[in-house]
A and B are shown apart, each in its own frame.
Chain A
Amino acid sequence: MKAAVLKKPSAFYDKFERKGGAHQETTHYCPGCGHGNLHKLIAEALTDFNVADRTILISPVGCSVFAYYYLNVGNVQAAHGRAPAVATGLKRANPNSIVISYQGDGDLAAIGTAEILHAANRGENISVFFVNNAIYGMTGSQMAPTTLVGQKTTTTPYGRKVSNEGFPIRMAEIISTLEAPVYVERTALIDFKSISRTKRAVRKVLQNQIENRGFSFLEILSPCPTGWKLSAPDAQQWIRDYMLPVFPTEVFKDTTKDAETLQYSHREYTDGEVLDVLGLSELGERKEVTKEFLDNFPVQNMKIAGFGGQGVLSAGVVIAACGMNENLDVTWIPSYGPEMRGGTANCSVIISNKRIGSPLTTKPNVLIAMNGPSLDAFEDDVVPNGLVIINSSIVERRVKRKDVVTLYIPLTEIASNLGLTAAANMVCLGAYLEFTGIMDYKLLFDVIPKTIKRKNMIETNIKAVEAGVQYVRENAGKN
Chain B
Amino acid sequence: MQRELIKGNEAVIKGALMAGCSMYFGYPITPASEIAQAAAALFPLLGGTFVQAESEVAAINMVYGASATGARVMTASSGPGLSLKQEGISYIAGAQLPCVIIDVMRAGPGLGNIWPEQGDYNQIVKGGGHGNYKTIVLAPNSAQEMCDLTMLAFDLAEEYRNPVVVLTDAYIGQMMEPVEFPRSRKKVKRQPWAVHGDAESQGNLVSSILMNTTLLEDHNFALQKKYEKVAQENTRYEALHIDDAELILIGYGIVSRILLNVMQMLRDQGKKVGMIRPITLFPFPQKAIADACEVAKKIMVVELSNGQMLDDVKLAVQGKSEIEFYNRMGGAVPTVDELLEVVQKYI
Q: Per-position contact with A for B103-124: 1 when CB-CB < 8 Å, else 0?
A: 0000000000001100000000
- Give the interface segment out of A94-102, A150-158, A190-198, A234-242: A94-102
Give how many B residues have a beta carbon under 8 Å from the other chain's beta carbons: 80
B206 smallest CB distance to A (angstroms): 5
B305 smallest CB distance to A (angstroms): 16
CB neighbours of A110 from chain B (8 A)? none
Q: Per-position contact with B for A95-132: 1 when CB-CB < 8 Å, else 0?
A: 01110000000000000001101100010000000000
17 residue pairs from A and B, CB less than 8 Å apart: A74-B204, A75-B205, A77-B206, A86-B65, A92-B62, A93-B73, A94-B196, A118-B53, A267-B47, A273-B46, A283-B1, A330-B5, A331-B175, A332-B176, A336-B170, A337-B116, A359-B175
CB neighbours of B152 from chain A (8 A)? none
CB neighbours of A389 from chain B (8 A)? none
- Give the interface segment out of B294-302, B318-326, B333-341: B333-341
B285 smallest CB distance to A (angstroms): 20
Q: Taking A68-B207, A79-B91, A283-B2 as contacts, is the C-beta distance between A85 and B175 under 8 angstroms?
A: no
Main secondary structure of the interface of A (DSSP, over half): mixed
B288 smallest CB distance to A (angstroms): 20
B58-109 residues with Cβ-Cβ distance < 8 A to A are 58-59, 61-69, 71, 73, 87-88, 91, 95
Cα distance A267–B46 when bound, in Å? 9
Name the 4 nearest CB pairs between A and B, nearest first: A89-B65, A97-B197, A74-B195, A357-B261
Q: B88 and A79: CB pair below 8 A?
A: yes
B contact set with A: CB distance below 8 Å: 1-5, 14, 17-18, 22-23, 25, 42, 45-47, 49, 51, 53-55, 57-59, 61-69, 71, 73, 87-88, 91, 95, 115-116, 170-171, 174-178, 181, 183-185, 195-199, 201-209, 212, 254, 257-262, 264, 331-333, 335-337
Q: B198 and A53: CB pair below 8 A?
A: yes
CB neighbours of A332 from chain B (8 A)? 5, 175-177
B96 smallest CB distance to A (angstroms): 13
CB neighbours of A286 from chain B (8 A)? 1-3
Cα distance A337–B116 when bound, in Å? 9
Q: B45 and A54: CB pair below 8 A?
A: no
Cα distance A285–B1 when bound, in Å? 5
Q: A114 and B207: CB pair below 8 A?
A: no
Q: B87 and A75: CB pair below 8 A?
A: no
Cα distance A65–B211 when bound, in Å? 11
Partner of A54, one of B55, B183, B197: B197
- Give the interface segment out of A316-324, A368-376, A458-466: A316-324
CB neighbours of A72 from chain B (8 A)? 202-203
A453 smallest CB distance to B (angstroms): 14
Q: A283 and B47: CB pair below 8 A?
A: no
Q: B47 and A285: CB pair below 8 A?
A: no
Q: B206 and A93: CB pair below 8 A?
A: no
CB neighbours of B261 from chain A (8 A)? 357-358
> Does A87 count as interface, using CB distance less than 8 angstroms?
yes
Q: A92 and B23: CB pair below 8 A?
A: yes
Q: A285 and B2: CB pair below 8 A?
A: yes
B107 smallest CB distance to A (angstroms): 9
A274-292 residues with Cβ-Cβ distance < 8 A to B are 274-275, 277-280, 283-287
Q: A357 and B264: CB pair below 8 A?
A: yes
Q: A92 and B51: CB pair below 8 A?
A: yes
B194 nearest in chain A by CB position: A74
Q: Per-position contact with B for A32-66: 1 when CB-CB < 8 Å, else 0?
A: 00000000000000000000111110110000010
CB neighbours of B259 from chain A (8 A)? 357
Cα distance A410–B175 when bound, in Å? 30
A287 nearest in chain B by CB position: B2
A152-183 residues with Cβ-Cβ distance < 8 A to B are none
Q: Taking A74-B202, A359-B257 as contacts, is the C-beta distance between A330 and B177 under 8 angstroms?
A: yes
Q: Taking A269-B185, A324-B3 as contacts, is the C-beta distance between A357 and B257 under 8 angstroms?
A: yes
B52 smallest CB distance to A (angstroms): 10
CB neighbours of A134 from chain B (8 A)? none
Q: Taking A75-B206, A114-B58, A338-B332 as contacts, is the C-beta distance between A277 and B91 under 8 angstroms?
A: no
Cα distance A166–B89 when bound, in Å? 33
CB neighbours of A20 from chain B (8 A)? 212
Of the four ranges (under 10, 10 to 19, 20 to 34, 35 or more), the interface on chain A belongs to: 35 or more
Q: Per-position contact with B for A309-335: 1 when CB-CB < 8 Å, else 0?
A: 000000001001100110001111110
CB neighbours of A357 from chain B (8 A)? 257-262, 264, 336
A27 smallest CB distance to B (angstroms): 15
Q: A274 and B87: CB pair below 8 A?
A: no
Q: B201 and A278: CB pair below 8 A?
A: no
Chain B CB count within 10 A is highest, among A89, A277, A279, for A89
Q: Taking A77-B206, A338-B331 as contacts, is the C-beta distance between A278 and B17 under 8 angstroms?
A: yes
Partner of A92, one of B49, B61, B204: B49
A122 nearest in chain B by CB position: B51
A174 smallest CB distance to B (angstroms): 15
B214 smallest CB distance to A (angstroms): 11
> Does A420 count as interface, using CB distance less than 8 angstroms?
no
> Does A251 count as interface, using CB distance less than 8 angstroms?
no
A10 smallest CB distance to B (angstroms): 11
A11 nearest in chain B by CB position: B202
Chain A CB count within 10 A is highest, among B17, B195, B257, for B195
Q: Taking A79-B87, A284-B2 as contacts, is the C-beta distance between A52 and B51 under 8 angstroms?
A: no
B64 smallest CB distance to A (angstroms): 5
Q: Taking A68-B205, A82-B58 as contacts, is the C-beta distance between A88 and B51 under 8 angstroms?
A: yes
> Does A7 count as interface, using CB distance less than 8 angstroms?
no
CB neighbours of B51 from chain A (8 A)? 88, 92, 122
Q: A337 and B331: CB pair below 8 A?
A: yes
